[in-house]
Amino acid sequence: MRHRTVGAVVCILLAMSVSSCSWPVREVKDVSFEAITAILGAFEREITLLEDQLTDTQEQKIEGMRFVSGKLNGKRVVTAWTGIGKVNAAMTATLLIEHFKPRELIFTGIAGGINPQLWPGDIVIAAEIAHHDMGVLTSQSFDYRGAMNPLDGWRNPVFLPADEYLLELAQRAASQLELEMIETTAGERLPRIIKGIVVTGDVFVASPDKCAELRQQLGADAVEMEGAAVAQICYQQRIPHLVIRSISDKADEGAVLDKQLFQMVAAKNSASLVTEIIKCKN
């Protein structure tokens, strides 16, 4: 009987020891996961506009990619610029998610405007985002399809939805944001912010015909080269995400010149909205 009693006491002590050692570790990990927001952009200036506002900064390189963590409006964030294109964006997002375990991810930057009512400086909050170059091409048509998710074997939807909370937060932030007047070919105007559809592909669109196609077939408001790749990773990893894009050009024959003229004000407007979103967070 004495041996059974001692054995029972030892088992209880071991259980208490394991519990006291392992449970706080899980708690710390969960707190870190909940506390940090990831912010990515394709161009360096899209991100340095935000990095310049950070306090308590810490820089580190992972596989050669530079990540800067700190506080933006008192909230913990980690930032990085991905480079242009879907592969670069996917690589950077994967490294960030693996090492920083963010609660959510926001992509900021410039885009070409497809919606004819959009002008340089305007902002599109992506309620949905899609790959415009992924699908099945035949001699008769192009059938848009989502990528196969290797984690569960199911096909992703063509339109990847933004996180509802982040989308609501962005709309609230937009109502409080004061943007500067901008001089465009349509005259001086105050940039507007809309909720819409953004599409992504590994090509810089400077074609009215392609714009009309994307508008007609996908209902696109803006086109860019990174957002859907990052959204796909977040969707598959169940990480809340949101894409914010400010218009730098009309994605037509004048897109290259307009991008040079308006990319800085567009990047600034997108960054301003992201800053306001972080400010509005609980």
Query: What 3-state DSSP class applies to 37?
Result: strand
* 3-class secondary structure, 242: strand
Of the residues 46, 51, 226, 258, which is catalytic?
A: 46
Q: Residue 264, Cβ neighbours under 10 Å: how many?
A: 14
Identify whether 249 is a catalytic site residue: yes
* Catalytic residue, candidates 104, 226, 249, 276: 249
Q: What is the DSSP letter of 132?
A: S
List Cβ neighbours of 191 (8 Å cut-off, separation of 6 or more). 119, 121, 122, 123, 179, 180, 182, 246, 269
Residue type, 196: G
Pair 121, 182: CB distance under 8 Å:
yes
The DSSP code for 123 is: E
Which of the 8 DSSP states describes residue 155?
Answer: B
Asked whether 40 and 224 are in contact (CB, 8 A), the reply is no
Phi/psi zone of residue 35: left (φ > 0), alpha (ψ -120 to 50 degrees), beta? alpha
194 beta partners: 124
8 A C-beta contact, residue 48 and residue 268? no
Active site residue 59: no
Are 62 and 97 in contact by the 8 Å Cβ rule? The answer is: no
- Catalytic residues, which ones? 46, 249
